[in-house]
Amino acid sequence: MATLEECHDALERLADRLTTVDDESRRAHAFDRSLSCEIPDLDVTFTGELSEGHLSGITTEPAPRAQIRLTANSDDLIAMTDGHLSFGQAWLSGRVKVEAGVRDLLRLRSML
């Protein structure tokens, strides 16, 4: 099981990766939504804001219900952000759960 700090660092790496998306792709797939990532094995939920293709404001402070909600255990979060587990594979196998509108889900998948 990964630690709280490792999960926070993984989300920061994801945020950094989103900044490397070329401007044309970012414009095509960018959207503004609140995001939460629940990590049940650590009993914590991270929240942040997706805005213009960037993830910012990552915190564990209480927040209103997010528009895009992810649930994954700590090891799967680390594996996804490190590139050892694809988002699509994790989602299809049930290792990550996503609550979002269909359009949001497709855009999120294209960005990851």
Domain boundaries, the chain: 4-111
29 phi and psi angles, rounded to 5 deg = -115, -5
> CA–CA separation, 18 vs 93, rounded Å?
24
Residue 112 has pLDDT above 60, yes or no: no
Q: Which CATH class is domain 4-111?
A: alpha beta
Which tens digits make up the pLDDT trace of 30-45? 668 899 999 999 999 9
**Total number of residues shown for the chain:** 112
pLDDT band, residue 81 (cuts 50/70/90): confident
Task: Report pTM.
Answer: 0.82
SS3 call for 80: helix
Residues 6+ apart with CB under 8 A from 68: 33, 34, 35, 36, 50, 98, 99, 100, 104, 108
